[in-house]
Amino acid sequence: MQEKDHNNPIQSEMPFAIVDGEQITEMPKDLYIPPVALQVFLDTFEGPLDLLLYLIRKQNLNILDIPIADITEQYVDYINLMKELELELAGEYLLMAAMLAEIKSRLLLPIFEDIDEEEDPRAELIRRLLEYERYRTVSEKINQLDRVDRDIFLSTVDTDQFNQPIVLPDIQVMDLVVSFQEVLKKAEMFSTLHFMKEPLSVKERMTMILETIQDKDFVQFEELFDLEEERTGLVVTFLAILELMKELLIEIVQAKEFGIIHVKTLVEK
């Protein structure tokens, strides 16, 4: 296999992205990075799996030993910073945050004999990380393959002295119809997209939750979720609840094990 020399100056894409490489040392050590640097930093990630892999590799951890609590905390810190800068990706990153939180909570649950058979809650995440890492690695290799116009230069002669008959593309009237249908289909997708973008703000959801709880002393945890919503919407609600807890604006109360969970306001009326 023809592999490309790393020292080629042209090959300067994504310096931070080679997570296993030494380049990482140039990365900020803690989370408190100036926003501009953070933007650059985040731009180098290809999504939540990529970011998680980075966090794991940064600590020289084996994927199989992920300390879920630590990683979750770091991850959530990152996405909190991210929310202000990288709104476009927030949905997917938020989903991962919720998944991590869920895994963490399941690990904390007392284990009973009869669910002993159940899979470790981290297994699915680990599988996805391993699978993604395979393709990420191989895509770096493909990127180093010889390619036309970078490492392979094609030999051609000029043929413009040759009177090439100009053949214009031919179209049928039905091609027009089909194309216009495509346009309409796409336009439709557009309108739904616009509609989707709005509601995904955690801050906004926090306010809504506070308003809901304000009048009553407490509400049931489930009541805060609108099941009509898409999965992402539920995740936003969940994150909003976590955020409110962190800011000591609400409290979660569970009278007995596996009993009803209540959410109580801590804001003075």
Hey, which residues between 60 and 79 contact other proteins (CB under 8 A)? Answer: 64-65, 67-70
- Contact status, residue 109 vs residue 250, Cβ threshold 8 Å: no
Q: Which two tokens stand for residue 145?
A: 């393959």
Binding mask 28-47 for other proteins (x = CB under 8 A): ------------------xx
Number of residues that bind other proteins (CB under 8 A): 89
Binding mask 178-207 for other proteins (x = CB under 8 A): -xxxxxx-xxx-xx----------------
Q: Which CB, 82 or 213, lies closer to other proteins?
A: 82
Q: Is 171 in the site for other proteins (CB under 8 A)?
A: yes
**Contacts for 227 with CB less than 8 Å, ≥ 6 apart:** 234
Instruction: Give min distance, CB of 251 to other proteins, in A.
Output: 22
Q: Is 49 in the site for other proteins (CB under 8 A)?
A: yes
Instruction: Give min distance, CB of 123 to other proteins, in A.
Output: 5
Q: Is 30 helix (H, G, I), strand (E, B) or coil?
A: coil
Q: Which two tokens stand for residue 139?
A: 């895509």
**Helix pair 202-214, 231-246: axis angle to 10 deg:** 70
Number of Cβ within a 10 Å radius of residue 240: 22
Hey, which residues between 128 and 147 contact other proteins (CB under 8 A)? 128, 130-143, 145-147
Number of Cβ within a 10 Å radius of residue 95: 17
Q: Is 126 in the site for other proteins (CB under 8 A)?
A: yes
